[in-house]
Amino acid sequence: MTIDCDFPGGNILLVSRTEDALMLRPDLRDTTQPWFYWHFRVRGAAGRSVTFSFDTPECVVGALGPVVSLNGGSNWQWLGAEAISGNGFHFRFPPEALEVRFAVAFPYLQANLEDFLIRHRSCASLIRETLCLTASGREAEVLRTGCLTGEPRTRVLLTARHHACESMASFVLEGLLEATLAEEGAWLRDNVEFLAVPFVDKDGVEQGDQGKARGPHDHNRDYLDQPPLYLTVAAIKRLVPAWSSGKLRVHLDLHCPCLRGADHEEISFVGSPDPSGWRSAQAFARLLREHQRGPLVYTGACDLAYGEGWNAGMEGQTATTWASALVTGGFAATLEIPYALAHGTPVTPDSARAFGRDLATALAGYLA
């Protein structure tokens, strides 16, 4: 039996092992605080029952256990809460399983984005452009959709993966963008131009980094008055002011919260320091509650205004704080999508995409 993480998005450290038990640890690399992202594969364990444990004081296994793939990462499913054992889980490998992958949540990598773009390659209202090249030479994409011919009535900025590990946010972004391309997105295509940055921390996503609390600061604390540390943030700060042209009405920065806990198992909005922007965000949130149809339910119970809870006294200017100065008559806000459970409902790629479509419906109502 072998264990490794030598593939895009892989992350694990092997601490010790016995015949049918592995002690593991997330590879924090340049993360300055404990965090919980891991993604690994096991080979040569067909037919065996194996216990995987993590030697961390913090919980690093979500409410539904790990996600598991039996076909090299093409398809995944939650293993289920019944498989959890302490800070770890049990797994019985099928007799024919040559390779099995495990991850803390559904991965979303460059290959997933390419699949999305292939599915919609015939859509004239979806354009892929290059934001910049990263420090490791990867292309950081920017996607434009909506009203791309003529002058739009208004503009919306969407960003995701400021923290590399927060993969469920990417499925929400997919669903939102798909809604702008569908029949029900006609009003959005006629009136609103969307600019989306799917991987702000592109290198971190592909390298399997935590991304959260990267030292000396992470991508979402890089929107300072001084030159940014990260090339993608610098490119966003160059592009967005010129692109917005005074018509930026909404910025949604899509994130995932902590792994476990009641406050982290609800979809929630997190406000910027602008009080009028927070009032506008709450008006949008009311529309979302009214129009949502998908399985993931947003209640607003865990929304967090600026200055409350952990949204107080944070060092470094965030993306939403920076973008709020560019927004006219609207809002910039962070939206947190749980990793595993949202108001008691499992978060999956399909349910997250459905929530993205609900966001698009609410945006159409708000912007109209």
The closest alpha carbon to 254, from 174, 135, 354, belongs to 174
Vertex 214, ends 3 and 74: CA angle to 5°? Answer: 40
The predicted structure's pLDDT at residue 308: 83
CA geometry: angle 34, 346, 65, nearest 5 deg: 45
Mean pLDDT of 9-17: 98
Do residues 22 and 14 lie in contact, with contact meaning Cβ atoms separated by under 8 Å? yes
Q: Domains plus CATH for the chain?
A: 2-103 (2.60.40.3120), 110-367 (3.40.630.10)
The pLDDT value given to residue 315: 62
- Which residues are 146's β-sheet partners? 193
At 272 the pLDDT is 86
Q: What is the pLDDT of residue 313?
A: 67
Read off the pLDDT of each residue in 66-94 and give the average, rounded to a whole number: 97
Given a cut of 90, whether residue 306 has pLDDT beyond it is: no
First to last CA, the chain: 58
* Residue 310: predicted pLDDT: 80
Average pLDDT over residues 104-128: 97
What pLDDT is attached to residue 117? 98
pLDDT digits over 134-158, tens only? Answer: 999 999 999 999 999 989 999 999 9
Range in 125-129, 272-276, 290-294 with the lowest mean pLDDT: 272-276
pLDDT at position 222? 96
Q: How confident is the model at residue 273 (pLDDT cuts 50, 70, 90)?
A: confident
Return the CA Rg of the chain: 20
Q: What is the pLDDT of residue 131?
A: 98
